[in-house]
Every structure is written in structure tokens, then in C-alpha cells.
Amino acid sequence: MVKYFTITMKTSIPTPAIIRLCSLYQLVCRMEKEGIPRASSTELARRTGLPAHTIRKDISFLGEIGDTGAGYEISRLRNHLFSNLGLKREKKACLVGLGRLGAAILASPNLAGEGFRIAAAFDSDVNKLETIKTAIMVFPSHEIVDIVRKMTIELGIIAVPADHAQEIADRLVAGGIRGILNIAPTPITVPAGGCFVRNIDIAGELRILSAMIGNKKA
Ligand code: NAI
């Protein structure tokens, strides 16, 4: 079933369109950096692999972009996507699990300026909390509900072993979290409405690629 959610006060946009619009935002940011001033929907279609009419329809979900003449003015389109996708309002995020992956996420400079900021991190291992070198506030995981609520954190990243992922999701939801990125290789469930979940199963994705290649050697 295609889920819809309200992205502006007036429009409900299907989740697949949101996903495409976020990829388009990434593309136009790159095009702007490259100094490309304008692009038609056909050019955007060529670069994204999507049909031009899908791109036009997706953009129109976000309201009028104004008179752009022939094609889209790239900087105007970037601004339009940035504002109307709600990326302008920086959201606070938290990370649960300060192991190999969690520590790498916390240390990554590539996550800045993407519409969110990691404001807190949690782990159940007190030694880790005491030894990790980071400017971000760290807390024991039994404080998740309280801290998420007090700091009005809206996004959560789960980077704990699979058997603990659901318990962490439950705590994040109890704290009022609105979006969860789950990196643990197990699906998590959240009550309907109020919280969105994205799962990234790296091993599962590689398994799919391996199966696509099959037994035939290159
Ligand atoms: P790790 O074992 O290095 O770290 C897990 C961390 O979670 C530890 O710091 C541990 O103290 C903490 N933790 C355990 N239970 C907890 C709880 N209830 N509350 C709070 N913290 C808790 O694991 P790693 O490698 O960082 O992986 C994290 C997750 O990402 C795992 O589910 C793993 O399967 C998945 N993953 C890891 C990849 C990798 O390359 N390391 C690749 C793909 C997925």
C-alpha cells in the first residue's frame, strides 16, 4: 500500500514521490555546484532515469515554482525543493548504539547540512559512554525516552545488534520520535501513524546483488 503524508499544510504526497524528490534534490545540488544554470525535465529525466512527466508531476506536488521560462532554473529548483520538502527546518536526531557503525556515523562529516543534526547518542555500555571522544552528548540507553522527549528529538538512528532493535524502537517511539532509520538487519514495527521507518539492510542488499549476478562468472 502506498503511504501518504502531509509535507506542507495543504498537500499529501505519496512516499515514492517523496523519495524521488529527495534524490532529485541531491541531483540539483550537484548540478548547481557544477554551475549548470538551467535544465529541462527531459534533461533531469536523462540524469535520473525517471520519465520526464513523473519529474514534472513530483515537482508539482510541492506547489508552484513560479515562472521558470524554458526548463527549470537550477538554483530556484533547489530552493523550491529544500523549502517545500521541509528540509529548511533542521531536525534534531539521535543515534542509538556507539559500536563500529554508530561511532563511524557520529564521526562522519558528510552528514552535516542535510536537514538534521545529531544532538544526542545512547549506548547501554557505560564504558563506551565514558571513553568515546565526541562533542555530542552521550547518555545511557535507559534514558532514551526522557532525553528524546526533553530535547524534542525527532529522528532516531538505530545501530544496535538486531535482537535489541525493536526494544530501542519502542523506547524512541515512547519518547515521541517521528522518524527512525534502522540499520540493524531486522524489521522493526511502530504503531500506525506518527512515526516513519526506513530500514537499511546492507547485507540484505548485497545478497540481492549477489543473487542478481547469480552463479555465472564474469
Ligand atoms: P557493534 O557490536 O560494534 O556495536 C553495537 C553497539 O550497540 C555496542 O556499542 C553496544 O554496546 C550497543 N548496544 C547493544 N545493545 C544495546 C541497547 N539495548 N541499547 C543501546 N545500545 C546497545 O555493532 P556494529 O558493527 O556497529 O553494527 C550495529 C548494527 O548495524 C548491527 O545490527 C549490525 O548487524 C548492523 N550492521 C553493521 C555493519 C557493519 O559493517 N558494522 C554493516 C551492516 C549492518
CATH 3.40.50.720 residue spans of the chain: 91-203
Distance 126 CA to ligand 1 centre (A): 15
Write out the three cell numbers for 68.
Answer: 521558470
For residue 134, what are the contacts with CB-CB under 8 A and spacing of at least 6? 106, 107, 121
- The architecture in CATH of the region 91-203 reads 3-Layer(aba) Sandwich (3.40)
Distance 26 CA to ligand 1 centre (A): 28
CA distances from 194 to 5, 85, 155, 176 (A): 10, 18, 12, 8
- Angle of helix 15-33 relative to helix 52-60, nearest 10 degrees? 100
Substitution candidate for ligand 1 out of 160, 172, 201 with most atoms within 8 A of CB = 160
Closest-CA residue to 41 (of 82, 71, 17, 16): 71
Residue type, 2: V
Q: Is the pTM of this model over 0.75?
A: yes
Distance 175 CA to ligand 1 centre (A): 21
For residue 11, the model assigns a pLDDT of 52
- The C-alpha atoms of residue 72 and residue 93 are separated, in whole angstroms, by 33
Mean pLDDT of the chain: 91
pLDDT, tens digit, 9 for 90 and up, residues 163-210: 999 999 999 999 999 999 999 999 999 998 889 999 999 999 999 999
pLDDT, tens digit, 9 for 90 and up, residues 140-169: 999 999 999 999 999 999 999 999 999 999
CATH 1.10.10.10 fits 4-84, yes or no: yes
